[in-house]
Chains A and B, each alone.
Chain A
Amino acid sequence: MNREDFPMLKNDIIYFDNGATSLKPKTVIDKMVDYYENYSANAHRGDYDISYKVDMEYEKTRDLVAKFINAQDKEEIVFTSGTTESLNMIATGFFANIIEPNDEILITTSEHASNVLPWFRLENEYGCHVKYIPLDSNYHVTLDNVKKAVTPQTKIISLAHITNVIGDIRPIKEICKFAHEHDIFVVVDGAQSLPHIKVDVQDLDCDFTAFSAHKMYGPTGLGVLYGKKELLDNLEPINLGGGMNESFDSPMEIILKDVPTRLEAGTPNIASVIAFSESINYLNKIGMDKINERELHLRNYLVEKLVKIPHIDIINLEADSGIVTFNVNDIFAQDVAYYLNKYNICVRAGNHCAKILKNNTNVNNTIRVSLAFYNTESEIDMLIELLKDKDKIMKEMI
């Protein structure tokens, strides 16, 4: 649905790599071009009209994002370069200051690298310990398993809302409730959930959430760090510089601005922030429920056909998102991706940055199809036709 809104879809491709990045509607692209062509000035310099307009547009996006995720206050929205930077800021700017030796951080083996490595760094530098919540037989996280993994030392639970390989939706609301009863912070990696399901941070009651604009049909190089106001106030800026300070005279006399400005040092990614407003407008216009419904329909359509192909193993039969991960027996995932590329089908092969998940699945590399609402049944039919014939794959993959 809504294919006509996406200029990229006019090219002769079938795009099944939406988990990596999504395509952009024309309104987003136009908004960015409009900034560059008509009011290309810096932010925080409101002495002339076009710069004033930049500030207005920039803050308008912040407002839209706050409403989109139902944050209590727009000051809880910090613009970053992406989910990765947001998660690093949370780990290094906030938790590094309060973590103590032997504190425990709970993650899972199916997390993306950006929700693993910042915590590994805390372990290496502060003597705390990264522990794993066991996954169930479908590689999902259950509240029961969270409860089993929590100890008196647990300080942080950091989980993807939806994982990028398994595609399961974690019970974040229930986990937050349990965690907060035990004085544990909850960090949510929302990179794969914000584009596909309704996320209400007050309803979830998570302490921090990180996500990326480019996976939400928005521009690259932009992400969001959401944090509860009282926590963000204590998040130490990693970058110091222009725009974020009130005054300074000497190393002893530095006064910083309030959040979120304090956490956005230097010239921000103005064009992307401004254009991101159109992504939010676009998602609101279609409605997240409708997007989710359409993507689940496509997933079921794909899985029903894939299971009938005997030489295909689906890794995540059970999942509530548009992510389908599989292998063709005896053929290396990347060779399948090369083969599909010959037919202009874009899929991803590899470990998808979840490098410790192999400890659970015993599979190193997989092919991942990640769907978006603009994909179609006929695109899936084409994929299935190409995967049905193993000899053809073997013949054409090289």
Chain B
Amino acid sequence: MDDEVKREIILEHYQNPLHRHKPEKDGYEKVNTANQSCIDNLDIYVDIQDKIIKDITFTGEACAISISSTSIMIQNLIGKTVKEALEYIDNFDKMINEKEYNADLLKDANVYDNIYKQNSRKSCAFLPYRGIREILAKYLEE
């Protein structure tokens, strides 16, 4: 993916993020995820039924990287089982941290494959994943 395409995808998800609202019905798990070193602060809501992610929404304020990353995460995780979602997150984690990963699995999230070059923004890209991973881990155990 060339840099111009990446930039366009990021900006599109920043300016028109998916599901940036509170859930419209009850039964969602909520998690707050914030970066201590900056001012990103998001609440993420997840609806999980029979170990399948039915819906994700979010609210809060954060930078372009965090917001777009959250939107892309939502696009990619809805419909996945908890186990699949955790694998996806591990894969994203590996990409951010320059380890071997499966690029095919990540789809649009590949736009952050160079983010490791900007150390201060790695945590921005990973912010939503840190939050949702906590919730999913609980469901895996059950």
Contacts and interface: CB of A to CB of B under 8 A. Distances in A.
Interface of A: 332-335, 338, 349-351, 364-365, 394-395, 397-398
Contact of B7 (A350, A365, A395): A395
A365 B10 CA distance: 22
Contact of B61 (A365, A394, A398): A365
B89 interface: no
Interface in B38-77: 38-40, 61-65, 67-68
B11 A334 contact: no
Contacts of B64: 332, 335, 397-398
17 contacts: A332-B64, A333-B39, A334-B38, A335-B63, A338-B63, A349-B39, A350-B39, A364-B61, A365-B39, A365-B61, A394-B11, A397-B64, A398-B7, A398-B11, A398-B14, A398-B65, A398-B68
Secondary structure of the B contact surface, majority rule: helix
Contacts of B14: 398
A179 to B, nearest CB: 35
Most chain A CB inside 10 Å of its own CB: which residue of B10, B11, B39, B61: B39
B80 to A, nearest CB: 26
Interface string B74-113: 0000000000000000000000000000000000000000
Interface residues of B, number: 15
A350 B38 contact: yes
Given A350-B39, A365-B39, A332 B62 contact: yes
B114 to A, nearest CB: 11
Contacts of B7: 395, 398
Most chain B CB inside 10 Å of its own CB: which residue of A333, A334, A365, A397: A334
A78 to B, nearest CB: 32
Nearest to B120: A338
Contacts of B61: 332, 364-365
A349 B124 CA distance: 15
Contacts of A334: 38-40, 63
Contact of A351 (B10, B39, B63): B39
Interface string B116-139: 000001000000000000000000
Given A333-B39, A335-B63, A397-B64, 12 more contacts: A332-B61, A332-B64, A332-B67, A334-B38, A334-B63, A335-B64, A338-B121, A364-B39, A364-B61, A394-B11, A395-B7, A398-B11
Contacts of A350: 38-39
A333 B64 CA distance: 10
Nearest to B38: A334
Nearest to B118: A338
B81 to A, nearest CB: 32
Most chain B CB inside 10 Å of its own CB: which residue of A333, A338, A394: A338
B74 to A, nearest CB: 19
Contacts of B67: 332
Contacts of B121: 338
Contacts of B11: 394, 398
Contacts of A398: 7, 10-11, 14, 64-65, 68
Contacts of B62: 332
Contacts of A333: 39
Contacts of A364: 39, 61
Nearest to A395: B7
Closest 5 CB pairs of A and B: A350-B39, A334-B63, A335-B64, A332-B63, A335-B63
B112 to A, nearest CB: 10
A357 B30 CA distance: 26
Contacts of B65: 398
A115 B7 CA distance: 42
Nearest to B121: A338
A332 B94 CA distance: 28
A365 B39 CA distance: 8
B65 to A, nearest CB: 6
Interface in B1-48: 7, 10-11, 14, 38-40
A233 to B, nearest CB: 40
A365 B34 CA distance: 14
A253 B121 CA distance: 57
A398 B63 CA distance: 9
Contacts of B63: 332, 334-335, 338
Contacts of A338: 63, 121
A395 B39 CA distance: 21
Nearest to A339: B64
